[in-house]
Amino acid sequence: MELKTPAEIEELARGGAIIGELFRELEGRVEPGVSTLQLDSFAEEFIRSNPGAVPVFKGLYGFPGSLCTSINEEIVHGIPSATRVLDEGDIISLDVGIKLDGWCSDSCRTFPVGEISPDKARLLAVTREALERAIEAAVCGGHIGDIGHAVESVVEGTGFAIVRDLVGHGVGRTVHEDPQVPNRGEPGKGLELREGMVLAIEPMIAIGTHRIRTLSDKWTMVTTDGSPSAHFEHTVALTTEGPRVLTGEVSSVSAQ
């Protein structure tokens, strides 16, 4: 784990701003009849149109796309494909990483495709709120367990399940660094949170079971019961003024 200086956090924020712009563009392109490969191709072109920026996921560990495109029961790592076409009522999680001048940023949003069911709409709202509360808990002097506990406090009583086997992570020169950031935890437990940490905080919540499996493509992870899941993620820097969202805005935690 490498603590980042204020100047390095500003560099990270430059890439994060590109992700924020990308998601604003993608929002209008997520609609019935669009293939996940079309979304991926647009994202790659958009990223590369910014001088020095490259899609960090493309080729990472052998992944073929610039976006992870995960539909309905697919939690993470869905592979873009010309034959995967969005239908009315789907939800799709678009996860993207950018590397700009040697620094990485990582974010995910789950989008509705047209009109979605009340259960799916509630799932998206709960997962987004879990991210908001988790970011608020990411303060210097706190602990990693505070972040996971914040997620649990939102999900408890909803009937939804936190995906336990997938976690957030540090971000910096590489897109996956220490420490791990679980979505469950005890307040005051775990690694102390320090100024200069940059964390990808990413609740993944399912309507049904927390159990997951990997498909035969060796990438796509799905809920074992086929229930829909949602995934929201921001790259967040810990500063003495509080958590700073580097990859756009969430509704109640403003980017600084």
Residue 209 maps to a domain: yes
Nearest Cα residue to 69 out of 100, 47, 44: 44
> What pLDDT shows up at residue 252?
32
Work out the angle at residue 38's Cα, subtended by the Cα atoms of residues 43 and 21, and round it to the nearest 5 degrees: 25
In tens digits, the chain (256 residues) has pLDDT values of 889 999 999 999 999 999 999 999 999 999 999 999 999 999 999 999 999 999 999 999 999 999 999 999 999 999 999 999 999 999 999 999 999 999 999 999 999 999 999 999 999 999 999 999 999 999 999 999 999 999 999 999 999 999 999 999 999 999 999 999 999 999 999 999 999 999 999 999 999 999 999 999 999 999 999 999 999 999 999 999 999 999 985 433 333 3
Range of the domain at 206: 6-245
Residue 250 maps to a domain: no
| Confidence (pTM) | 0.95
Residue 1 maps to a domain: no
> What pLDDT shows up at residue 249?
59
Residue 96 maps to a domain: yes
Longest dimension (CA), the chain: 48
Note whether 16 and 237 are within 8 A (CB). Answer: no
CATH of the domain at 155: 3.90.230.10
> What pLDDT shows up at residue 250?
46
Residue 252 maps to a domain: no
Beta carbons within 8 Å of 91's beta carbon, 6+ residues apart: 71, 72, 110, 111, 112, 113, 116, 120, 123, 124, 228, 230
Residue 255 maps to a domain: no
Residue 254 maps to a domain: no
Residue 211 maps to a domain: yes
> What pLDDT shows up at residue 255?
30
Q: E-assigned strands of the chain?
A: 53-55, 67-71, 74-76, 91-100, 103-112, 161-162, 168-170, 177-181, 198-201, 204-206, 212-214, 221-223, 229-231, 234-239, 242-245
Q: 3-state DSSP call for residue 151?
A: helix
Percent of the chain with pLDDT over 90: 96
Q: What share of the chain is helix, strand, coil (3-state, %, to 5)?
A: 25, 30, 45
Backbone angles phi, psi at 223, to 5 degrees: -70, 140
Q: Per the structure, how many domains does the chain have?
A: 1
The pair of structure tokens assigned to 53 is 């920026």
